[in-house]
Every structure is written in C-alpha cells, then in structure tokens.
Structure 1
Amino acid sequence: MKNLSALFLGILLLLGTTSLKSQNVWDLQKCFDYAIENNIRIKQQALNTAYNQNLVKQAKDDKLPNLNAQVSNDYSFGRSLTYDNTYDNINSTSLAGYLGTNVTLFNGNTLNNTVKQRQLDLEATLHDLQKTKDDIMLAIAAEYLQILFAEEVILVSEANIEVTKQQINRTQQLVEAGSLAKGALLEIEAQLAREELQLVNNQNSIQLAYLNLYQFLELPIAESFKVEKPKLPDLKANLTMMNAFDVFQNAIHIRPEIKAAQLRVQSAMKQLEIAKGSRYPSLEFGANYYNQYNNQYKDINGDRIDFGDQLKNNRRSSLGLTLNIPIFNRFQIKNSMSNSELQITDYKYQLQAARNVLRKDIELVYTNALAALNRYISTEKAVNSMKEAFRYTEEKFNVGMVNSVEYNQSKNNLTVAQSDLLQAKYEYIFRAKILDFYNGVPITL
C-alpha cells in the first residue's frame, strides 16, 4: 500500500513539473504590451481619439466648395404657365434640374480657427490615451510586484515550516528520552499547524494577485501564465533618491495629463476667436445651373417643342457673391464670447488642479518610498538580531532551559520581521519605480 501511495505521489509530481514547464512565463514588458492591445479602457480611449481625428478632417473639409444637385418632376392640372408666359387650362408634366455650388471666401477666419481648435482637441485626446496607458501600466506593475512579494513570503513560510518540522523531530527524541514534557511537543505541533495554515493563506494571496493581474490585462484565466522573476536591485545601492520637488519640475513638462490640460486651455482660446469671428461679415461665392422640360410647351406655330430644343432654350446659369453682414442677432455673439471666456477660465482651473494632483501624488510617493527604505534598513537589522536570538533560544529549548511558549514566541517574532522586511523591500521598489516613471523613465524590472 505504501508503495502504491509513493508511486501515485510521484506521478502527481511529474505531471505538475511537466505542467509548469509547459506554462507560459511573462515578463513585465510582455504584460504591458498585452494590456495596451487588449485593455477595454485603452480601447475606449482610442475610439475617442479616432472620433476627434474625424472632427479634424471634417473641419478641413468644411473649407472645400460644396456641390448639390436637384431633380423634380411635377404634374400640373388646371391653369398652368405656358411657354409664352401666359396661363391656360391644360394638364402638363414638367421635369426640372438644378446644380449648384458654394464656397466660403471669408468668414472672420472661423474655418481656419475651427481647424486649429479641432487639432488641439485631438492632441489632448492623444495625451488622454497615453495617460490611460500609464495608469494601466502602473496598476500592472503594482500587481506584478505583489505577486513577487507573495512568492517570497511563501518561501519564508515554507522555510519556517521546515525548521518547525525539524524541531518536532528533535523534541520527539527529547520527550522519548524524558528530557522534555510531552506538552512541549504538543506546543510545537500546534505551531506547525498554524504555520501550515499561514502558508495556505499566502498561497491564496498569490492566486488573488494573479487574478487581479489577469483582469487588468483582460486575459481569460484559461490563458494564465507565470510571471518571470527578475533580478531586483540591491536597496543599499539606492539610499539616495531624487527629491520630490525636482521630480515635479520635470513631470509638469512631460506628463500627458498636464499636456492635455494645457492643450484644452489653448482650445478654449481658439473657441473665443471663433466666437469673435462671428462679428465680421462673411463672403460666399456661388454658381448655379438650371434647366426645365415641359411636355405642353409649344412654339408660335402650335407645335410642341421637343426635349432637346427645350434643354437648349430653358437652360439658365448664374454666378454671384453673397455678403452677409451681422447687425443684430439677439446678442448671440456677445453671449457666445462670454461663455468662451468662462470656458477658458474653467480650463485654467482644471490645469492648475491637474498640477496640484500631480504634485501631491509625487510628494506622497516620495514620502512612502523614503519611509519604506528607512523601514527596510531598520527591519533588516532587526531580522539579523532576531535570527541570532532565535538560534540562541532554540539551543536553550533543546536543553530544556526555555519552554515551548518562549520558543514559539521567538520564532513568530522572526517570521513577522522577515515578512515586514519583504514588504518594505517591495514597497520601496514600487514607489521608486513610480518616481522614475514621473521623471520620464519607463518602468522596468
């Protein structure tokens, strides 16, 4: 029976190893690339960009002449106008055609300003698209590092379990030899149960971190992957960071949300110029062609005029200029200018608000990064001290100088310190990467 169990366990381990080998491994850049191609928020923002591209194209096309044609077919009963411009009681059928074109020659530079405004709006949406990509990449980097952190915590948990199992074996021998009471063994076994439960919780945490990452990527769970474990930087080599003020001074010149806000201020200024342009006269050029056929038209001899002759005789063309002079339009122009000025002020407020948010975010990230670094340095010293303290406690426990409660307390203190050290390490790495990102450095691991 034991042989069968061992064989079954071996098969499971072999299958698990094969599955891991065949499973995809993604690095952080591959996660970024997949998200940019598949994330719904990015796709929606890309649609908004395409919409604004169409608005720019339409604004340019509005400067072109138009061309329209019209054909009408009428049936007249009773008194109708005849070919010699008199009225007679006849029923007739007439066919008329019209072709006309108009082009704006001048309208207070409204068309040109509209094109410039739409181009500014398009540039703003392109920066909005980049901001959306940046937000998704930051979220992905956070989940990626959370997975790496969870994996290291699992390694710590597994190492602690192994130490506890070894201590159980030693304690068992001491109990059998009469050097320790059986209660000490029971305490160590209870400690092992708690550590195994914590390992399960840590394994659940890593599964949740993977789930969050898959959701940011819009990736089905059936297409899951494992993250590549990079070589992380040595924190002691990064004891200095660029201060928050310098990062902010660089960020306001490169961050897409700031550029988008600046472009919207410029767009609102163009809207004011468009409103002012409505105060000026507009000049249009037009050309028209008209022709008509009537089945009852007759010449002086009473003979009906055929279709071809009527088209030659009835054709009419015209060329002309139309000047529209605004005199009074119920204060629409004045109110439009006032609204445009209010819009400029509002967008300036939005620009200042975007700068304030960016400054606060950078200051918060810098403060958290510095705190995490200091916490890492102090915790690292604490871990080294607790390792030595635990080793000393373990030696005394083995000779019966301390009880199992003191032993477990010392071991728990070491475990907590190791977890705190890992947390401080990954928090500092993430915050430092965000600072670099605000400073124009791409996120890499």
Structure 2
Amino acid sequence: MKRFNWIKIYLSVGISFLFSGEILAQDTLKIDFREAVELALQANAAYQTQLNSLEVLQKEKQVAMFSHFPSVGFNTTFAQQSGQQFQQIEGEIVVTNVTNEIISSGLNLNMPIFNSGRRILDTQSAKLAYDAGEKGLDRASQQVVFDVARRYLQVLLDQELLRIATENLANQKEQLRQIQGFVDAGLRTLSDQYNQQSEVARLESVLVDAQVQLENDLWDLSEYLQLQPGVTPDLTPVDASARENSLQDLPMDELYEIAAANRADKAQQELLVNSTKKDLKAIKAMYFPRLSAFYNYSTFFTSLDDRSIQEQLLRIYPQNNLGLNLTIPIFNNFQNRVDVSRSRVAYKNQEIRKAAIDRKVYQDVRLAYQNYQAAVRKTANTDVQVFAAKEAQLAIAERFRLGLSNFVDLATANQQLVAAQADQAQSVYTLFFQEVLMKHALGTLEVLD
C-alpha cells in the first residue's frame, strides 16, 4: 500500500517537473487562425515559389505586349588608328603615317510588319500564362489555409482531449477518496480500493499520453509556421460547434458543378492548355515569310578632317537608311521542325494534365462528400452516446454508493462516459474539419472560413 502510494507520488512529481520545465524553457506566441495563415504564407516554400514565378510571368507578359512597338538601339564607338592612312587629295591617293582619332555613332529602329500573327499569338500566350500563374497562386494559398486548418484544429482537439482526461482523473481521484472512506467504515472491501487505485494510475498514464500528443502536434504546427526555436504557439480557440451546414443537403452533382467553376488548379490547367496551344501556332508561323521595316541613322568624326566635331557629326557625314527587310525561310537545318515538335509535345502534355486534374477534382469532391456525410451522422450518434453514458454512470454510481452494484460496473460506466466524451469531441472537430476539407475540394476555401 505505502509502496504504491510512493510510486504514484514520484510519477506525478516527475510528470509535473517534465512538462513544467518544457513550458518554462519555451516562449509562447498568442495567435489566432488568421495570423497563423499569414505566418504560413510567409514561410511556405511552395507559395513563395509561385509568387516568384508570377513575377517572371508578369515581365514576360510586358515583353510580349511591347513587342508590337519598334525596337530602338543607339551605338557609339571611339577608336584610334595609328599607322599608314590613305587619303584622296586632288584625285591622288596620298599615304601618310599619322594617328587618326575616330568617333562613330548610329541609331537603329526595327519594326516587324508581318510575321504570320506570331506577335499576337505570343501576346495572347503570355497573358494566358500569367492568368494561369495567378490561379496557381490562389490554389497555393488555399492549400496553405487547408494545411494550417488541419494542424490548428488538431491542436485544439488535443487540448480538448487533455481537458477531458484531466477532469476524468480528478473525478476518479475523488472517487478513490470516497472508496477509502467506505473501506475505513467497513462498507467496502479492500479490493475495491486497490481496483480504484489501479484505475487512477491508468488514467494518469492516459493524461501523459494526451500531454505528449499535444506537445507533438504543437511542434508540428510550429514547424509548419517556421516559428523561432523555443517558441510555442498559444492558439485562440474556435467554436467548432458553430457550423453553417450549408453543404449538408447539396447533391453530389451540384457540388461537382461548384468545384468545376471554382477550383483554381482546374482553371489554371485550362489556361495553360490554351497558352501552349498559342505557342504552337506562334512557332508554326516561323515556316512563313516575315517582313519588317528598318531605319538607320549613322555619322562619324575623324581627326584627319580639320573641321569641327559638331560640323562633321551633324552636317558633313550623317547618313539615313530607310527600308524593308523580307525574310523567306528556305532551309535552317530543320530547326523550325524541332521547335514545332517540342511545342506540340508540350501542348499534348498539358492536355494530359488537364484530363488528370479533371478526374482529381471529381475524386476530391466525391471523397469529401462521403466523409462529410459520415461525419454528420457520427456527430448525431455521439450526442446520443454521451447522453446515455451520463445517465448510466449516474445511475450506477448511486447504486455503488448504496452497495447495490460492484466496482466492475462502476469502472465500466466511467470508462464508457469518458470514451463517449472523447468520441463526441473527436466528432465535433472532425465535422468542422470536414467542412474545411469540403470547401478545399470545392475551391471556395478562404481565410475567413
């Protein structure tokens, strides 16, 4: 008896020291769900990668738009020639050994006039690619919200299960105190006291498991949010029982229509298919002739001429060239054919991915729909389960107090009540999470949800 009590005291003190030491060694960060999502968006590699890629797509879109305007270039050259210089003086060629300083400048303009619609196709393709990037960023943000919600709700569920385990342990300790009084009064046998002590020790182990599970899930959330080492999030609770129930009565066909209209990854893939199709047509345009206009202005200065730099550059030597350039592809080592083949394969691959995403959207909605309906039924069942378990436990506890029931019946009733409460908490948070999962599958998940 004394040995058992000392073991129990050592175990309790050790557990308290262990967890209190961890808590003291850590800093807590009070955050709500919105703040958790903001932290995750800043730390999530997939989201940040999409954000960086969108910046490149924006630049490519701008380049495609500006391709409709002329390209302008300016060049200037400073040179020095030493040695024999040939000059024509009064009809004769005179060779002198001098140093000649030269300045040459030029302005070039090129404007494509006709290239079989390639500029238009490139512009359309770049815009579609940018729109697809925006859709990809939207889906990446929804994935972050979903991942945070899963971890956030798991921590809240762990806290609720820990609360249930703590309350149950306190109740069973009080039950042990009462049984010890009954034993001292000769109303109960010593075996009932030992059985209750064993039950209290078991519940202390259950409490330890609940604490460890909470610590593990808190670490998982901290790692996903990329918090500083030693910082533990202190989560603001959510009302898991406050549900909209707006999706409960919708049929599967209507839910799939909602997903088809709202899933960002589905829209992204459709845009990518159209973008690669435009690319294919643009590359095929290289088979046909291309016409462009050009304008060149050039001038120079030479130290062999005694006139001033300004006079030479602006009045004596300027030249203007204006013309058209027609390019007819005849043979370029089949490079155009290779480019067309690559573009055609890219287009076909995007179509394959589109078909795969269409199937995935339907499967996601179907699975979320089934799990959501199961969670609704389970929540209703656990409500009945908790009510019945409470009534049974109260009745058996009273019979045990009056000596009309044995310890086995009382322990069974207590365990059934605790299991029912845990099942109820699990079902409430599961249903709450299934609504999040359903909105994620439908593509309507927002931070406010």
- The answer to whether TM tops 0.5 is yes
**Where does residue 12 of structure 2 map in the other structure?**
none
1:124 maps to amino acid: A
Q: Residue 86 of structure 1 aligns to a residue in which SS?
A: strand
Structure 1 residue 362: Cα displacement: 1.5
**Where does residue 291 of structure 2 map in the other structure?**
283
**Where does residue 100 of structure 1 map in the other structure?**
107
Identity %: 21
**Where does residue 76 of structure 2 map in the other structure?**
70
* Residue ranges of structure 1 left out of the alignment (5+ in a row): 1-18, 298-303
* Residue ranges of structure 2 left out of the alignment (5+ in a row): 1-23
Distance 1:41 1:329, change over 3 A: same
**Where does residue 435 of structure 1 map in the other structure?**
438
**1:242-391 map, 5 Å:** 242-296=250-304, 307=309, 310-311=312-313, 312-391=315-394
Distance 1:145 1:263, change over 3 A: same
Aligned-partner Cα distance in 2 for 1:52–1:87: 60
2:157–2:425 CA contact under 8 A, matched in 1: yes
Q: Residue 90 of structure 1 aligns to a residue in which SS?
A: strand
Distance 1:67 1:246, change over 3 A: same
Bigger mean CA offset, 32-41 vs 205-214? 32-41
Aligned-partner Cα distance in 2 for 1:237–1:320: 71
1:108–1:279 CA contact under 8 A, matched in 2: no
Aligned-partner Cα distance in 2 for 1:395–1:236: 40
Aligned-partner Cα distance in 2 for 1:277–1:72: 41
Structure 1 residue 51: Cα displacement: 1.3
What is the aligned counterpart of 1:208 among 213, 216, 234? Answer: 216
Per-residue CA deviations over 1:193-238 (Å, capped at 9, x if unaligned) read 2212222322332333333333333333666553232333367978
Structure 1 residue 260: Cα displacement: 0.6
Aligned-partner Cα distance in 2 for 1:43–1:347: 23
Per-residue CA deviations over 1:10-56 (Å, capped at 9, x if unaligned) read xxxxxxxxx9xx97754333433443455443233211111111111
Aligned-partner Cα distance in 1 for 2:343–2:311: 58
2:112–2:292 CA contact under 8 A, matched in 1: yes
Per-residue CA deviations over 1:164-199 (Å, capped at 9, x if unaligned) read 122112101111112222222122122112212222
1:129 maps to amino acid: L
Aligned-partner Cα distance in 2 for 1:322–1:181: 110
**Where does residue 31 of structure 1 map in the other structure?**
36
Structure 1 residue 135: Cα displacement: 0.4
Q: TM-score, normalised by structure 2?
A: 0.83
Structure 1 residue 95: Cα displacement: 0.5
Structure 1 residue 92: Cα displacement: 3.3
Aligned-partner Cα distance in 1 for 2:336–2:326: 18
2:415 maps to amino acid: N
Aligned-partner Cα distance in 2 for 1:336–1:326: 14
Bigger mean CA offset, 409-418 vs 266-275? 409-418
1:287–1:317 CA contact under 8 A, matched in 2: yes
Distance 1:244 1:222, change over 3 A: farther
2:255–2:365 CA contact under 8 A, matched in 1: yes
Aligned-partner Cα distance in 1 for 2:331–2:141: 49
**Where does residue 171 of structure 2 map in the other structure?**
163
Q: Residue 178 of structure 1 aligns to a residue in which SS?
A: coil
What is the aligned counterpart of 2:52 among 47, 50, 53? Answer: 47
Aligned-partner Cα distance in 2 for 1:88–1:45: 67
Structure 1 residue 341: Cα displacement: 2.6
Q: Residue 241 of structure 1 aligns to a residue in which SS?
A: coil
Per-residue CA deviations over 1:87-134 (Å, capped at 9, x if unaligned) read 625243240413131222222222222122111111111111111100
Q: TM-score, normalised by structure 1?
A: 0.84
Aligned-partner Cα distance in 1 for 2:88–2:268: 66
**Where does residue 135 of structure 1 map in the other structure?**
143
Aligned-partner Cα distance in 2 for 1:104–1:72: 31
**Where does residue 398 of structure 1 map in the other structure?**
401
How many residues are treated as equivalent by the alignment? 419
